[in-house]
Amino acid sequence: MAKFLVQKSAPLRGEVKISGSKNAVLPIMAAALLTEEQCVIKDVPALRDVDVMCSLLESLGASVDKDLQNNRVTIEPSGEIVYEAPFDLVKMMRASILVLGALLIRTGRAVIHLPGGCAIGKRPVELHLKGLRALGAEIDEEQLKRGIVDAKVDKLTGSTIYLDFPSVGATEVIVMAAALAEGTTVLENAAQEPEIVDLANFLNKMGGRIKGAGTDTIKIEGVKSLRGVSHHVIPDRIEAGTFMVGAAMTGGNVLIKNIVPDHLKAVIAKLRECGAHIEMRDEGMVVRGDMKPLNSTDIKTLPYPGFPTDMQSPFMALLTVAKGPSVVIETVFENRFMHVGEFNRMGANIKTDGNYAIIPGDKALTGAQVVATDLRAGAAVVLTGLVAEGTTEVSQIYHIDRGYENFVEKLKALGASIMRVDD
């Protein structure tokens, strides 16, 4: 199994270009199934999850031309689309569920095993199914007990739907299905993430009629058909946040290019509270941690526009070396403290109680053998390795490959001492 070897490094310096958003491109690729015409998606990150989505779309009958060297994927679902997604692909990636609405539109049926992905909590699909039921789909309850979503529909019809929690995945699936449903759908308590806005922009380019994306109420007027388009994916705000934290906690000075500051307001605010200097320039965002010592702060994860749960573990890495104690409260996923054990192997001495973590801070960390327990935690232990004495050996790095394009190469270009070792 491949692993990363990380050494204590000099402060990160230089510039880095952020890749296209993983969490935006996957629903957009799924949405390409809603037309029979060719869609060209640009700024696609070369990631394991993108590879899996390409394979999934091909298995369903779409023609996919994957040119990740040039960060481009061309999808043409003009042939016959099958309704069942293969289990061996679905189990590799939770985002597989995103094809649910598109399959119902194209075939009148969708059969998908409950998917895999990071083990960070239940992340149930009940809200996805609630939305589809409201649009007229029938879900086989016996199959559902066996972990299989088997949905059928003669005709999807617009409805008013209230989500009990602003689930990103449920919002995306419902918006995709409603785009070609008959009549108008109003989705209340919708997720507001920038990735939702990118999906809506993509669908509207195709001829959709979606208003309110980025707010808690989205109105979708169903249309008869959608056309093929070309689309640039937004930059990855979580990758950007990860490099921002890396620059700050190593006492570095990094220019981060291809970034949308508005997507990172909560992260920017918290980094400034810790004492990092952040400056917006025409060419990007400069993050400096070399102007004064970093202080502690408290964070609480919330749905967007609150502090993102995906940034919780990278930010906790910073708090382990900041001066003074901090409290982190995780409100989105119940299993998202699995990285705490890995930080503690390095001397962080973090205590957890339910969804609270208490970080004493100001610790002299030591390299250790650690595990990437999930995608973001994997990036977090790498950042911690950059400030720890000795060598940090990070295993199960396939998690990191799922969500960070050229992670090692980008860190090396900033002066990090890190290498990938393939056993």
- Indicate which residues carry an active-site annotation: 118
Q: Residue 340 class from Cβ within 10 Å (0-12 exposed, 13-18 middle, 19+ buried)?
A: buried
Contact 174, 218 (CB under 8 A): no
CA distances from 237 to 45, 46, 49, 189, 346 (A): 13, 16, 17, 22, 28
Please tell me the distance from the alpha carbon of residue 159 to that of residue 131, in angstroms, as a whole number.
Answer: 9
Please tell me the distance from the alpha carbon of residue 46 to that of residue 239, in angstroms, as a whole number.
Answer: 13
Give residue 335's identity as a one-letter amino acid code: N
CA distances from 203 to 127, 141, 213, 230, 395 (A): 21, 31, 11, 11, 39
| Residue 318: closest CA among 299, 287, 294 | 294
Cα angle: 316, vertex 320, 322; to 5 degrees: 105
Backbone angles phi, psi at 114, to 5 degrees: -60, 130
E strands, 114-167, in order: 138-139, 148-152, 160-162
Contact 34, 176 (CB under 8 A): yes
CA distances from 250 to 8, 129, 276, 289, 350 (A): 10, 44, 11, 7, 20
